[in-house]
Amino acid sequence: MASKKQIILPFAVLIGGIALAFAFSTMKTPPEEKPEQDTRPLIATQHVHLDAITLDVKSYGIVKPKDKTELIAQVGGQVISVAGQFVEGAFVKQGDILARIDPNDYEADLIEAQAGLAQASSALEIERAQAHVAKAEWERIKADASDAIASQLYLRKPQLAEKMARYRSAQASVKRANRNLERTYIKAPYNAIINERSISLGSVVNQGSRLGALSAIAVAEVRLPVADNELQFLSNGGINANVTFSAQYAGKQTTWQAKIIRSEGVVDQKSRMSYLVAQLATPYANNSQPLRFGSYINATIEGRALDNAIIVPHHLVKNNKIAILNNNLTLSFKTLNIIREQNGMIIANQGLNEGDQLITSALEYPTEGMAVKIEETTPNSDVTQLALKEE
């Protein structure tokens, strides 16, 4: 039979274990309560600023003279003098004598023509006197015979007409001889720059021989290609629009102001471009920065004005929609009326208001009404007008 000790001992051990377990449980530190995490995406914003801009159109071209002339000999002979300024690149004024062809034969022709004119003039005066005598004689005969009829030959009218014709022919000969003598002088037809000289002292030229070439410096022209879809940004098709030319001169970027004066009115078959023609007066007037013929230039054609323009980066717009931040820190989409896409930027005239907060962060799955949180922005983070420069 079990003793009393054997019965009590197991109960004592059990009670002790329970007490020990309770003691350990009271010593255990309760787990920390973690704060609730903010799962809203973090975004950056910029304030929208509306501004007035012009929808300028970029182009390019080669500077050429409006007028270019080949000097052609109108009379033949030996070149007896060449002016010092008749060299390539030299500037000449209208009427400057560039060269002279031997005038001896043409002076002789003039003397001969003048002599023929004197003879014809004398013969005409004699015939006029004879016609006057014939008329007076006829008046006397007519008084005696009232039914008499005078013939034209009797009144010497055919003879007078013949002498008049010879006189006029002699006048024409003198005029032609004077003109040919004048043509022995090779003159500049306008203020110009010499492009080429094809003769030298002692050269013998014939009528039609090429003597050289020159370009007028009064007006420069540039043909500017414009894509068809760019014409919509120009008022009146670009006619009378201001143009800014830019090019390197003496290692420095230089600009000139010009104006579109006409459109060629056709589409080029190769480039499929329309061409506008810009003019610049006196391109060589400024010696420190002349716009030289043959220069390759970039051109900016002034386009239509846009009063309240919105300019935003292209990557922020999808299907004409852009994300903005509402006052309650939620996202919403606005639809833009896109006018132009250029150089990674989009220009619109409707869809956003002054001061709207544009979301510039890339969100993975943006949705209408999605809650977001905003990071600190710098004071200079407004969206302002950006310079749209060609690469």
* Distance (Å, whole) CA 116 – CA 162: 15
> In sequence order, which residues have a C-beta less than 8 Å from that of residue 379 and are 6 or more positions away?
none
- Tens of pLDDT, residues 60-110: 999 999 999 999 999 999 999 999 999 999 999 999 999 999 999 999 999
Helical H segments across 101-224, by residue range: 104-144, 157-182
- Is 320 in contact with 336 (CB distance < 8 Å)? yes
The position carrying tokens 């302002």 is 384
Model pTM score: 0.72
Q: What are phi and psi of 329, to 5 degrees?
A: 60, 40
Please report the domains of the chain, with CATH numbers, ordered by start residue: 45-52+307-374 (2.40.420.20), 73-102+185-216 (2.40.50.100), 104-182 (1.10.287.470), 218-303 (2.40.30)
Q: Identity (one letter) of the amino acid at 126?
A: I
**In this predicted model, what pLDDT tens digit does every residue of 148-158 receive, in sequence order?**
555 666 667 88
356: which 2 tokens?
């709207």
* Cα dihedral 353, 303, 317, 362 sign: negative
- Full pLDDT tens readout for the chain, 391 residues: 456 666 666 666 667 667 666 665 666 555 566 666 777 888 888 888 888 888 999 999 999 999 999 999 999 999 999 999 999 999 999 999 999 999 999 999 999 999 999 999 999 898 888 878 777 777 777 665 555 555 666 667 888 888 899 999 999 999 999 999 999 999 999 999 999 999 999 999 999 999 999 999 999 999 999 998 899 999 898 999 999 999 988 889 999 999 999 999 899 888 889 999 999 999 999 888 899 999 999 999 999 988 888 888 888 888 889 888 888 888 889 989 888 888 888 889 888 888 888 888 888 888 888 888 887 654 444 554 443 444 3
- Tokens 């999808």, residue located: 318
